Amino acid sequence: MRYRRFGKTNLQLSVFSCGTMRCLASESNAQKTVQQAIDQGINHLETARGYGKSEEYLGNILKAGLSLPRDQLYITTKIPPTPDADLMSQWINDSLERLQLD
């Protein structure tokens, strides 16, 4: 797997990410899917608020642990656009809670 520096940081993200829109459709397959991605060298997992329960499933997987240390695994999520800063903040906090992060 190739890795690239993320912006002006020292973070090295895999050139491919594991998008979870479809691969985490059921929690029973989620652990296997994510672990297979990690086994291929992928260290970036991508999800979104609108992907059904994928944030929740991914949070459970992260809590259970994977073969890659958490500090070497990068998680990104997305929220819909909104001009409402309070709503945006709530959505971010909701995602962090579902992902069991921070």
- 45-61 burial, b at 16+ Cβ within 10 Å, e below that, comes to bbbbbebebbbbbbbbb
- Which pLDDT value is given to residue 52? 82
Q: What is the mean pLDDT of each run of 10 residues along the chain (102 residues)?
A: 95 94 76 92 94 89 87 93 95 95 86
Q: What is the pLDDT of residue 1?
A: 94
What is the third-level CATH fold of 3-99?
TIM Barrel (3.20.20)
Whether this prediction's pTM lies above 0.75 is answered by yes
Query: What's the pLDDT score for residue 28?
Result: 77
pLDDT of 24 reads 62
Residue of 40, 3, 49 whose CA lies nearest to 18: 40
Dihedral sign for Cα atoms in the order 54, 59, 64, 69: positive
Domain boundaries, the chain: 3-99
